[in-house]
Structure 1
Amino acid sequence: MKQLISAAGRLVRQFPRTHLLLSMVLLGGVILIAFRPDNTETTPERVQPISLPERTAPAPKPQTTSKPAPATPQWQTLTVQSGDSLSSLLHPLGIGAGQIDALLKGDDKLKRLTRLRPGEALEVIVNDSGSLTNVRYHPSKVETLTARLTGGGWSVRLSQREYQKQTRFAQADITGSLFLAGAAAGITDRLTMQLANLFAWDVDFALDIRKGDRFRIIYEELYLDGEKVGEGDILMAEFWNQGRHLTAFRYETLSGDVEYLNIKGDSMRKAFIRTPVAFSRISSRFNPGRKHPVLNRIRAHKGTDYAAPSGTPIKAAGDGKVIFAGVKGGYGNVIILKHGQIYT
């Protein structure tokens, strides 16, 4: 132990006094810090209550009562009855003569509204101020005429649907009349008339028809939405009359004109048709030796008289000029046509 202390003393004497003092001061500070009692006590946290304002619900927004949108005027359907006119249909809706006149003058197509037929329907819209604003009319099964009132007047559109067409064939032998033969073949009177018109320049259907004559035709049937609505044109026709065989073919030009041609390609039209009144009865034939029914003496009958119901259409035998129209003696109402320089 003495040796250890002696060695420590020698070691201390080797250091300078200044260093030795500083080391002792430093050692003493370390000892003080190491043995200092722990006086750090946790200070209790001070809780300060805070008063918060009460949460209030937002004030409800004032509800604004929205006005209902004005009702849109709706289409009204007017059914045409016997004796009705455009005016009589629209007057009960408050449409006056001035509006009707302005409608009819709005477009030439609207003049078709003056030819309404019983059973047809006219659709209109009248606004809240009592003005006619829209019109819709179906002149036929495929046509729709629509008119709308704008700031500049009436805007008019005529639209047309296309028929679906199917080709049909019919034939018949004539044993009585052409109409009866047509009915036996299953074709309508309209198609029978079209057949007669094709050969009107070659056959007098009041005088020339004989038992045993016959015909064959190819024609079109018209359909809309799968339903048959009528018959179209004859596409080809053959007619046998007293040994003659006549043929007609339908031909349409690039401009849309329709013509019927014979087997040689010539037009079926001639200078004069054979029958001016369709399927009428001959009441008096041309006869230079006829005995006059009133005067009871021989007086030539220089013409052919056709008896037909009142209102039957009468055709001119050919192109000509009217040189007289009026009442002429016992003939009654007379129209005289001049064809060229020779025939009247």
Structure 2
Amino acid sequence: MLNTGNNGTPSSAPQHASPKKSKFIQKSLLVIAFGLFAGAGAIAVVQPQNEPVVYQATQALDLPAGVTPLGSLSTEPFIHETRIRRGDTLAGLLQRLHVEAPGLQAFLTHDKNARSIYKLYPGRALQVALTPDNDLLWLRYVHTPADTQKGEAVSKWLEVRPDGQGSYVATEQSLAVETHVQMAEGVITSSLFGATDAANIPDAVALQIPEILGSKVDFMKDLRKNDRFRVIYETYSHQGQRVGAGKILALEFENQGKTHEAMWFAPDGEGGGYYDFAGQSSQGAF
């Protein structure tokens, strides 16, 4: 039903919502806003998941037989070795080996039995054995790594030990070295000795090749590129280290397409020499 004014036209005044409806809408908006902020807050303060629990298991294992635990006291001597270099002095070598033996250098300098140490050959070995307290047990100077004595290869060294009375005693020692057989081959590219160096053949062995086949091959004029050779020779070792080389046992040399052979042969009780496969003696027979 329309309300009419005084002039009989419809009233143009706006209609207003009821107070109850307004309060309902306002409460609904507050609830939504509270829910959004609460959700955002909950997301912001989400605690990370607990770190995974790590379990560790340990087991003590027995050491194999013969293995000494770390930290255990050892009574075994400490053996040090150095190679003599050009320009080395006795004092410098003892210092390099951590030797602190009172009076040792003076003894080595003046004792006649230690005279072999007067000459320090580059490449030769000097060894010392020290106790855990750094006391000297012995000193060895291997002045002759390999030598032939009565037909047997031996190694010779000077050995110095404390005498228990505040001084030292020096003696010369020798021991038969181990003999091994080595084989090598090479190809000539520029020279014989260049090829032997490339094949790791000792110089003492390389020098024997022209001595043995010198009557058949002129090693100054006849060599050609791609000439080939094979050689079997002796080497000597002492305490697991190579100390020298011996004689050639067999040699095959191919020069300009022709092959020359030589083999070492020593009848019982007689001197040896080199022969080809036909039994003819080669130059350089012993």
Q: TM-score range by the shorter chain?
A: 0.3 to 0.5
TM-score of the superposed pair, with normalisation by structure 1: 0.39
Task: Decide which structure has the larger Cα Rg and report it.
Answer: 1
Higher relative contact order (CA 8 A, sep 6+): 2
